[in-house]
Structure 1
Amino acid sequence: MMKIKSILFALLGWIVLLAACGSDSPTEPSVGPEPPLPPASSDVTLFVTTANRSQDFARRSLSFGTKDNLSPTTVKLLPDVRYQTMDGFGAAVTGSTCYNLLKMSPTDRTAFLTETFSDKEGMGYSYIRISIGCSDFSLSEYTCCDEEGIEHFALQREELEYVIPILKEIIRINPTIKILGSPWTCPRWMKVNNLTDLQPKNSWTDGHLNPAFYQDYATYFVKWIQAFQAQGIRIEAITPQNEPLNPGNSASLMMFWNEQQAFVRDALGPKLKAAGLTTKIYAFDHNYDYDEGKGYGQNDYPVKIYEDANAALFFDGAAYHNYGGNRAELNDIHAKRPDKELIFTETSIGTWNDGRNLSVRLIDDMREVALGTVNNWCKAVMVWNLVLDSERGPNRDGGCQTCYGAVDINKTDYKTLTRNSHYYIIGHLSAVVKPGAVRIGTQGYTADGITYSAFENTDGTYAFVLLNETTEIRKITLSDGAHHFTYDVPARSVVSYRWKK
């Protein structure tokens, strides 16, 4: 009997140990962020996520240090060194995302959206991207004016029954949420095969916008923005075309820099102004490498647009994706036109990059996407689908059928959630870096495998987001000149800090 008891106690010990260590399983459902705590009596609030899920956006607190903070691992904030002002962080709320959210029970859906978008009770996501018409993650292929004649413009079933109800629920949770709209294609009756032959191209994919319809298409944008306004949904910004150098998506339109320049200068910009709309316009909305090698000759796409002073007046800046090239392009474009903004609007995880394996993706995506874009002048960062189902859908033929969502929901119950890297990397920014924050300078400790960024919020707090991709715990001290504190940053983890000045 004693021997049996010994075996049982040993087995119990192993079970407890394995639970404490977490799991690297690529498809293990995540528990999700810890519930919000009452206001902490301590000075510093932290959020911690480890690549092995042993800490799952865990909330911690610290007190300011009382002893000398001289340490070789001290990072000092330099609030007088100021970079870009931040607009927000978030994900795409596609038709597919909305379909999956509406399959959840109302209680579960509200809980998830609160966890994601609430500034007080959750991660505080502050920016989302939606499509103008369909995308490759829509329930059908459509625009808001498929019958020829701009007088036939109308919001369609996907907006009215899926997207708008979800947006309204998000706005109830976070009334200051910013929304960016991007079209995947213009109406097919506005398309031509090329700008030389000008032959009609009745196709969802490829083709160019017929210059004869510049004014009608500009009116299309105005009507779309106004239709959402009528629903109580303000559109912060638009891009004239999603991936203008990609002719092969499930819905797509080619739009070279000179076309976008002329369309915005001669039609879209003036139409928005005449309608009294202050919606921002961001150029490009595609890859760092401008699809180099395909013979398009589109390098420096936004800079070429800005060379026309009349066109440049209507563009607030440029938007980028990371499916090609290097994020260093952001710094290069900023150096050429520091007066124009930069935002990052799309990146995906999927079967091609071990997308559900948090032990791999948390580190890479935090370095390359979250901190990599912010530290190269982006003032907003958005990832692709917020929620897809466990079969990577719903999706469209010709679009991405190998993408995962920032969160995947089990299609058998529409309840069980797997939170992937993109959910966490945005949350680690949005939880502590609030709209209006300014990225500020730092000096002191640097090391291979340690990446960070510092911010000053408008409410009198500092924020600091740090990635430790090494396999060792790093004891790092932060100092703002008046206060300092030290925390043992876990191996292969992300830590976000926020504290009052």
Structure 2
Amino acid sequence: MKKYMQNLKCVALALCLLGSIVTACGTDKSEPEKPVDPEVPTSGDVTLFVTTATRSQDFAKKFIDFSSKSNMSPNTITLNPTQTFQSMDGFGAAITGSTCFNLMKMSQADRTRFLKETFSETEGMGQSYVRIAIGCSDFSLSEYTCWDTPGIENFGLQNEEKSYIIPVLKEILAINPQLKILGSPWTPPRWMKVNNLKDLQPFNSWTSGQLNPAHYQDYGTYFVKWIQAMSGNGIKIYAITPQNEPLNRANSASLYMSWEEQQAFVKTALGPKLKTAGLDTKIYVFDHNYNYDDIASQNDYPARIYEDPAAAAYIAGAAFHNYGGDKAELADIHNKRPEKELIFTETSIGTWNDGQNLATRLMEDMKEVGLGTINNWSRAVIVWNLMLDTERGPNRAGGCQTCYGAVDLAKSDYKTIKKNSHYYVIGHLSAVVKPGAVRIGTSGYSAEGVTYSAFKNPDNTYALVLLNNTNDIKKITLSDGSKHFSYDVPSKSIVSYRWK
């Protein structure tokens, strides 16, 4: 009996050591490694990624071959590369101060592994577009701008950039050098604010206020200095917006900026300052909700700005969020000015929308945010925080206290990661649709609950992302006109395809 108990102790010790090794390697504690199935193909003509709402398939990579049989399926989706829509810029999430704080709490090995899984073209999802704050946001470690005291000699990047944002961005750029970066301010320096444009009284508050027209040129300089400072640290800024949520006075850091004000600022200061500095950084206006926060005078905000040709000449297009209104507004703005670009720059999950319930959110978010914005002319899809901790932070008082990240990191160990719907939505797009891809037409099969979009990549591969928001398995055939293949799409799932 004694020898038997000793043997049991040896077995227990071995299992404990094995568990330590697995944990040290960064395996998600909630998802043990699965044995390799010798029956599953490891290569094929078509690469697929599959995620089900039940996580029975968790961004599972699969391969299938083209069919050698005649295509007689009535469930065939046929690609039409001669019908083209918008080019795609990329997909990603916000790299906030909170995200970077959490990432820097991880061990170097675990952080590198996660960033490769997220951003690597060869070892992961290939996410390709991120949004950062110019100064603080409601998910920063403090409230600040990079020019809190008048006098150009007082401009400078702050601790949040130096210790968190820039180091993380450098790690990401080492993994994906083609990463695009969008910058958005939540507030200008407080000394540039006034209470309103009539009284023009100083407004020493992070929240609300308006930009003093007397400081338009100073604020234009602020953007130039920030872009140059980031560039000096190896961080190229691809695009900016003049103001995050310009119709939202209530955020912990915020500024009210009507379309008339934004038009004047871009026309007289921001655009000319970027041009004089020789910067090719794109400007996207608006950066707020589909419904313009129900302020009637601000309806069609971007289109109103474009009415001034001198302002419009500096502007690449408009950015939108989805905290109010409908994605059809994207198509409406596109139809008003089809030569101007559209990007989608923020959406969040949280306690208010059952944000960690993948069974609900995966379906809804791919329909509304992923494919929904793309099928309404958006060139990019960017969600809110890439990573928060399990206490939904760090965050600022007055900002969102109820938001989840695209992934949530356990505060108990800064190791265990829970992946939420936004991580999968962005991953399914970025894994197969590459920057520079063109959305193309399709014909054939359609059904209630089935949504999809097709693309031709710069390398001449085809891609299609499909949502099956039904309770049935859908045997769907895809044809590019010369080759075809079929796959049984699981119920309540997303499948991404890519093939030559």
Normalising TM by the smaller chain, what interval?
over 0.9
Match of 1:310 in 2: 310
% identical equivalent positions: 70
SS, match of residue 400 in structure 1: coil
Q: Distance in 2 between matches of 1:219 and 1:148?
A: 12
Unaligned residue ranges in structure 2 (runs of 5+): 1-27
State whether residues 32 and 419 of structure 1, in contact with CA within 8 Å, keep that contact through their aligned partners in structure 2. Answer: no
Match of 2:257 in 1: 255
Unaligned residue ranges in structure 1 (runs of 5+): 1-26
Change (3 A) 1:243 1:28: farther
Identify which of 99, 103, 126 aligns with 1:101: 103
- Deviations 1:308-366, CA, capped at 9 Å, x for gaps: 00000001000000000000000000000001000000000000000001011000000
How much does 1:297 deviate? 1.2
Change (3 A) 1:34 1:193: farther
Mapping of 1:51-450 within 5 angstroms?
A: 51-292=53-294, 295=295, 297-450=297-450
SS, match of residue 60 in structure 1: strand
How much does 1:152 deviate? 1.0
Q: Distance in 1 between matches of 2:439 and 2:473?
A: 26
Runs of 4+ in 1 over 4 A off after TM superposition: 27-35, 37-40
Quick one: which amino acid aligns to residue 148 of structure 2? D
State whether residues 34 and 56 of structure 1, in contact with CA within 8 Å, keep that contact through their aligned partners in structure 2. Answer: no
Quick one: which amino acid aligns to residue 107 of structure 1? A
How much does 1:40 deviate? 5.0
Q: Distance in 2 between matches of 1:383 and 1:367?
A: 14
Quick one: which amino acid aligns to residue 157 of structure 1? N
How much does 1:72 deviate? 1.1
Change (3 A) 1:397 1:91: same
SS, match of residue 64 in structure 1: coil
State whether residues 392 and 403 of structure 1, in contact with CA within 8 Å, keep that contact through their aligned partners in structure 2. Answer: yes
How much does 1:31 deviate? 6.6
SS, match of residue 58 in structure 2: coil
Quick one: which amino acid aligns to residue 142 of structure 1? Y
Q: Distance in 2 between matches of 1:464 and 1:282?
A: 27
SS, match of residue 413 in structure 1: coil
SS, match of residue 189 in structure 1: helix
State whether residues 133 and 183 of structure 1, in contact with CA within 8 Å, keep that contact through their aligned partners in structure 2. Answer: yes
Match of 1:19 in 2: none
Mapping of 1:17-28 within 5 angstroms?
A: none
Change (3 A) 1:360 1:31: farther
Q: Distance in 2 between matches of 1:40 and 1:95?
A: 39
Quick one: which amino acid aligns to residue 298 of structure 1? Q
Q: Distance in 1 between matches of 2:311 and 2:460?
A: 38
Match of 2:3 in 1: none
State whether residues 330 and 376 of structure 2, in contact with CA within 8 Å, keep that contact through their aligned partners in structure 1. Answer: yes
Quick one: which amino acid aligns to residue 398 of structure 2? G
Q: Distance in 2 between matches of 1:281 and 1:142?
A: 23
How much does 1:30 deviate? 5.5
Quick one: which amino acid aligns to residue 425 of structure 1? V
How much does 1:42 deviate? 1.1
SS, match of residue 452 in structure 1: strand
SS, match of residue 370 in structure 2: helix
Q: Distance in 2 between matches of 1:107 and 1:307?
A: 51
Normalising by structure 2, what TM-score?
0.92
Change (3 A) 1:459 1:33: farther
SS, match of residue 371 in structure 1: helix
Change (3 A) 1:68 1:321: same
Q: Distance in 1 between matches of 2:84 and 2:155?
A: 44
CA RMSD of aligned residues (A): 1.7
Identify which of 42, 45, 56 aligns with 2:44: 42
SS, match of residue 378 in structure 1: coil
State whether residues 41 and 64 of structure 2, in contact with CA within 8 Å, keep that contact through their aligned partners in structure 1. Answer: no
Q: Distance in 1 between matches of 2:44 and 2:250?
A: 54
SS, match of residue 383 in structure 2: strand
Quick one: which amino acid aligns to residue 331 of structure 1? A
Quick one: which amino acid aligns to residue 490 of structure 2? P
State whether residues 32 and 56 of structure 1, in contact with CA within 8 Å, keep that contact through their aligned partners in structure 2. Answer: no
- Deviations 1:187-246, CA, capped at 9 Å, x for gaps: 000000011110110000000000000001000000000001001110000000000000
Quick one: which amino acid aligns to residue 180 of structure 2? K
Change (3 A) 1:421 1:31: farther
Match of 1:491 in 2: 491
How much does 1:151 deviate? 2.9
Change (3 A) 1:127 1:30: farther
Q: Distance in 2 between matches of 1:427 and 1:458?
A: 19
How much does 1:70 deviate? 2.1
SS, match of residue 142 in structure 1: coil
How much does 1:28 deviate? 9.4
State whether residues 43 and 64 of structure 2, in contact with CA within 8 Å, keep that contact through their aligned partners in structure 1. Answer: no
Quick one: which amino acid aligns to residue 368 of structure 2? E
Q: Distance in 2 between matches of 1:51 and 1:33?
A: 19
Q: Distance in 2 between matches of 1:495 and 1:146?
A: 48
Change (3 A) 1:320 1:380: same
Q: Distance in 2 between matches of 1:208 and 1:366?
A: 36
Q: Distance in 2 between matches of 1:250 and 1:137?
A: 9
Quick one: which amino acid aligns to residue 75 of structure 1? I
How much does 1:34 deviate? 11
Aligned residue pairs, count = 471
Quick one: which amino acid aligns to residue 79 of structure 1? P
Q: Distance in 2 between matches of 1:122 and 1:481?
A: 30
SS, match of residue 463 in structure 1: strand
- Deviations 1:90-121, CA, capped at 9 Å, x for gaps: 00000000000000000000000000000010
State whether residues 34 and 57 of structure 1, in contact with CA within 8 Å, keep that contact through their aligned partners in structure 2. Answer: no
Q: Distance in 2 between matches of 1:127 and 1:498?
A: 20
